[in-house]
Amino acid sequence: MSRENEPTKQFHFEILRYDASNDAQPRFQSYALEASGGISVLEALLKIQEEQDPSLAFRYACRGAICGSCAMAINSRLDLACRVLLKSLPAGRVVLEPLPNYDVIKDLVLDMDPFWEKYERVRPWLQAEVVEGGERRMSEDEREKIDQYVNCILCGLCYGACPVLASNEKFTGPAALAKLYRFLADAREERDGETLEQEDGTEGVWGCHTITRCIQVCPRNVRPTDGIEGVRRKLLVHKFKKVMGSGR
């Protein structure tokens, strides 16, 4: 039996509604949906939008936990709506809210600009001189060191889960810092210490309290806290070399 053909039941949805351009306060709106427990929360949202309320706003793209667009809070748990099945939620009650630590544009649609601005700030690309032949090769062992960080899909769940960002919105955040480590640990990387020095402070790597909420919510098993610890080590080595090089 396919998951769509599983027996149907009544699900009760409570969705936090808010339009930043019109509403003074957010409010919960209720929806009842008869659906198979084998469908995902995202599929249920699409049914509600199509059959009951076309004004409901949320993001999605791939529907297969690849793009990360449908990140939200589902019964207070941060996850991708496309990978959570209705039958996994107790008592048929589904409470949907936007991720914490973001401003809301409308309903479950977030303003991702701060996330992307911080991501861009760490220069998340390989900085190396062009070599003859056009390829810079790396060994399997070297690749394995950065594999988990390459797997990040930039869904923003870790940013929403981070307790530091809840109190310090200037903190760079786990996604960007883990991606910085992905390149610092790349054997082909040749960047200078400018990006490292930029993150030397409580708004950068020293702001992380190693609570590991980012690890707990990652749908791709990335461990951002480990990456942040790696950046800290790289930074300390850089500072030591800088001091020794200056003769102090």
Nearest to 162 by CA among 132, 118, 195: 118
One-letter identity of residue 216? Q
Secondary structure letter of residue 39 according to DSSP? S
pLDDT of residue 38: 95
**Residue 214: alpha-carbon gap to chain centroid:** 8
Q: For domain 3-110, give its CATH number from 3.40.50.300, 3.10.20.30, 1.10.275.10, 3.90.1150.10.
A: 3.10.20.30
Secondary structure letter of residue 98 according to DSSP? P
Task: For strands 8-17 and 93-97, give the pairing.
Answer: parallel
Query: What are the b/e assignments for 23-55, b being 16+ CB within 10 Å?
Result: eeeeeeeebebebbbbbbbbbbbbebeeeeeee
Instruction: Give the CB-side neighbour count of residue 90, counting CA atoms within 13 A.
Output: 3
pLDDT above 90: residue 175: yes
User: Rounded distance, CA 90 to CA 105, Å?
Assistant: 29
pLDDT above 90: residue 7: no
Residue 105: C-alpha distances to residues 38, 102, 110, 145, 157 (Å): 30, 9, 5, 38, 17
pLDDT of residue 65: 94
pLDDT above 60: residue 247: no
% of the chain with per-residue pLDDT over 90? 85
Span 90-139, pLDDT tens digits: 888 999 999 999 999 999 999 999 999 999 999 999 998 877 777 888 89
pLDDT of residue 2: 61
User: Rounded distance, CA 186 to CA 178, Å?
Assistant: 12
Q: What is the CATH code for 113-246?
A: 1.10.1060.10
pLDDT above 80: residue 4: no
pLDDT above 50: residue 248: no
pLDDT above 90: residue 3: no
- What the block records as the tokens of 73 is 């809070």
Domain boundaries, the chain: 3-110, 113-246
pLDDT above 80: residue 185: yes
